[in-house]
Structure 1
Amino acid sequence: MVKSSGTRYGSIAQFFHWCTAIFVLVAFVYGPGGPEQRVYSSVHEFDRRLHETLGLCVLALAVMRLVWRTIDTRPETPAVSRWMVILATVVQWLLFALLLALPLTAISGAWLEGHPLTLVAGVDIPSPLATSHDAGATLASVHKWLGDTIMWLAGFHALAAIFHHVVLKDDVLTTMLPRWFPVGRTKSDR
């Protein structure tokens, strides 16, 4: 099932969701972090290249996912309290905003500091921006803060899905899991 139905997300939406989640987690783990001298030291070259490559992948996935949402249907919202629906909607849109803001602040920050964007394939994308080191350092700090924020928010998002599955016993979690996953069947699949 490529497109989503009234009971579950389709394979494309699931692909975007899970690839994005994995890429964000790995990018967070491999983000060199710390002061500029540490981030751009040769010791952290691979980590930085992997982090920046995954960041660009996250940006591309987020854009494709937003475009896909405009043409794809979504599963029906379970019968839950109105505040849960509002909170879920706010969290989802905050996650989308962070998926766009994180790579954009990183790219802008690096370029403003005078560093090229470095990718795993050995490709370096030089800055098209005039150097403004202070502005770049500020954006790098914002990027770090946003990175921590997305991890907390994604953790909350995952815990909410588990809460729905274990406590409320609805299909919120299973709608985003592939059919082959052991708990990936919705009530309508059974």
Structure 2
Amino acid sequence: MNIPTDRYDRWTRIFHWLTAAVVIFMFASAHLWENLEKGTPLRKGLQSLHISLGIAMALLIVVRIAWRLIAGHHPKSDSPRALNLLAKMAHGCLYLLLLAQIVLGFIFRWAQGEPFNFFGLFPIPAPVVIDHEWRGALGGLHDNVAWAIILLAGLHAAAALWHHVVVGDNTLRRMLPGSGNALQK
């Protein structure tokens, strides 16, 4: 398989955009159900989907990190060294925040003592007992980390647009889906 050196490989791009879509949906769904009356089918459905996608996100992030370390193609950047270091630090922070969010989500759900199922197919039992008293603190942390992910991901997107519009380089184009001709100047 011949991979152009100026683009990320197909799987890296798929994992990137799938992660972005799931993060946006999960963030939005959590804020939507907060405005719905407790016990309604829509609220319960959004919560169930959020939980199942959280479990799927855990698998996605593990696979994404493994792919990045083992097989992913990451083109070299022409940006100054300091900017590259800043970008790597931001990516590292995003990965750490996503991992923290997944762990917090699992622990928070177990602390609630409610069923924790993957699309209704199978339950995920708690490996340890989590005191119900921790629900409030865990829920608050889960919410704060969600906001941190959204803010950092927003800065990440703004940086990509800045590269495209102001700098005029290939940074955004190399992560876009398709043949690589998208957003040609």
TM norm. shorter chain > 0.5:
yes
Per-residue deviation, 1:142: 0.6
Q: Provide the residue aligned with 1:73 in structure 2.
A: 73
Seen in structure 2, the aligned counterparts of structure 1 residues 31 and 120 have a Cα distance that, compared at 3 Å, is: farther
Q: Provide the residue aligned with 2:83 in structure 1.
A: 84
Q: Provide the residue aligned with 2:8 in structure 1.
A: 9
Seen in structure 2, the aligned counterparts of structure 1 residues 158 and 117 have a Cα distance that, compared at 3 Å, is: same
2:184 is equivalent to residue 176 of structure 1: no
CA contact (8 A) 1:53 1:119 kept: yes
For the aligned residue pairs, the C-alpha RMSD in angstroms reads 2.4
Seen in structure 2, the aligned counterparts of structure 1 residues 94 and 5 have a Cα distance that, compared at 3 Å, is: farther
Q: Percent identity?
A: 31
Distance 1:155 1:102 in 2: 17
CA contact (8 A) 1:113 1:134 kept: no
Seen in structure 2, the aligned counterparts of structure 1 residues 146 and 87 have a Cα distance that, compared at 3 Å, is: same
Deviations 1:53-98 (A, max 9, x none): 11112211111011001122310112x2332112111110111111
Distance 2:3 2:183 in 1: 14
Seen in structure 2, the aligned counterparts of structure 1 residues 136 and 129 have a Cα distance that, compared at 3 Å, is: farther
Q: Provide the residue aligned with 1:156 in structure 2.
A: 155
Distance 1:4 1:106 in 2: 37
1:5-154, aligned counterparts within 5 Å?
5-31=4-30, 41-43=38-40, 44-71=43-70, 72-78=72-78, 80-121=79-120, 123-154=122-153
**Partner amino acid for 2:174?**
T
Structure 1, gaps ≥5 residues long: none
- Counterpart secondary structure, 1:42: coil
CA contact (8 A) 2:13 2:177 kept: yes
**Partner amino acid for 1:154?**
A
Q: TM-score, normalised by structure 2?
A: 0.86
Distance 1:82 1:180 in 2: 28
Seen in structure 2, the aligned counterparts of structure 1 residues 134 and 4 have a Cα distance that, compared at 3 Å, is: farther
Q: TM-score, normalised by structure 1?
A: 0.84
CA contact (8 A) 2:7 2:74 kept: yes
Distance 1:115 1:127 in 2: 10
Deviates more, 1:11-20 or 1:119-128: 119-128
Per-residue deviation, 1:182: 5.8
CA contact (8 A) 1:178 1:184 kept: no
Q: Provide the residue aligned with 2:165 in structure 1.
A: 166
Alignment length (residue pairs): 180
Seen in structure 2, the aligned counterparts of structure 1 residues 124 and 45 have a Cα distance that, compared at 3 Å, is: farther
Greater relative contact order (CA < 8 Å, ≥ 6 in sequence): 2
